Structure 1
């Protein structure tokens, strides 16, 4: 039997697989509260499901839709970007539909990176950032995200030789997994860095509408000169609870999007037209104000309930300004993997070890706010009673 491609060696998700297996084992003995995977637990708003239902019942939506997206979809994305960020986009050249932002990020590396090229990737970071680089056969250079630098990469620390070889960099703010945000001034710095070294910027803005306390995350494309060097991915999965619909888009520099569009035209025929109409309805309603997006308020309440309950048991965590995650430093004496497994075994609570997202994630766990407030409070109570918050000394792995 022939062997699979060596590229698969870098795509292992061992910790996620092991966590799922242990969860099944624990679930045989007790109920488990899963704060692991960041999948929205709410359905789309009723008016969006109705828009989809109406579109599905039209016989003209069942042909091949085309990978670039319908004109109506691209025009609505452009209109929403002008409304939300004040960014002007040409819907014909600077907007392209995607089957989810993960799809676009995976294919972007295939479109732009060759063996021998370097790609700058955040560490910790969403797994597809690194995975896409390995699939393209390129070389990954991790940019550490550390608390001392507000989880922003230190661009000045990247060696000059790496900068000369780098094809593009991936950024993600608001960030998964660390829940950090970036000011527009940082994006201005990124644009200067990218121009100086001839590097493309690919910014993932999937959590743009999951923000709290009045904070409004900026678009990278708002930075002066950003359209000259970069593109931005955004998604309907998180902002509109449309994760299973698999629709997103990339916007920005037309010449940077074009190679991605070529790859896409060779591997798929586009997003189902009825789903595109649902997405149009989502953006149009958001722009009109008739259906204010409740996402931020929903996750802010969950954040507040969980962090208050955790503080009451002695686990104090800085509140994130955005995303559906809490990036929590673990007690002294533990490593991330052992701590996460101890929470599962002793408290029946699933979290993800920080080092699943990269070496710099060691010392943290990620908790997804994907349960109702009373369930999050119960998770905190269980954690407190489990005793795992005590500093760990000479103790074997759970």
Structure 2
């Protein structure tokens, strides 16, 4: 009996524990409150599919006004200048020879128009010509011919005396010399012009003016800046070329001048220009090393072909010293023509005669001012006419 009671109690314990295990988990699982819907979930489905509306710029601005960067426009290229025609330049510039006119026109014609031409008068005429840098030999020849012609022809009027003097001066300038610039290209090769001269003669400026003369006559020109010793020379030449649309070939400062000259001619061949104009460094004629270097420039350039023209720039104010300069340069590079600068600033216009008589080299261009087109082709008759002027002269006692 006692054992039976224990079994019953054990079964009741098992049943109670099993029931508790089923009830307790359900008591722990309390239902969670419903999650509130968000604003996006509360919107209709059609509204969710609509494209987003961008806020206007003013609404998203930070409050700081941001301006777009300014557009910087490149400065316009300077217009290409058109040089003045070369024909008639000497006539237009005749007034620039006013100081020389005082010697030749008023001085010589005043002496020749005296009623009595004695030995003292002829000596005064000689002195005037020598003072004007005509040179001793040329002066004696001119005076001897004038004495003979005035004696034989009996010429006495001022007009007739002027014609006689003009004829003798033109004859002394030798009008038969070829004064044209050899600047026309050959087949596949441009004409090459080498510009040489001493320091201070205005060589680089004159080189720029020569380019304007060639362009005015219808040539296309390329400039070679072979003056590599003077820092501003290449810049100066490039400025002259840029004004008339001519390209300039240059090298670094202190580069080999011969190399720059060679490259300039090569560039001229590649671009098919008519004329290559090479500016060289100014040098003193008594500096052997510098003159040898000039000879090297000539030899290197001639690897492309012969140089067509070598122009020596002379300062008219140097007078007879210019003859020595011309002689040495001629020996080194075979000068073919002279460009006489600053002729408007001197009364010694006779240097033109002296240069040609001593060297047999024609004066091809004369500088009569500082303007870009004040370089004129030289014509003996027009030059003499400008020297003598047109003012009427009174008869001397």
Q: TM-score, normalised by structure 1?
A: 0.34
Give the TM-score normalised by structure 2: 0.34
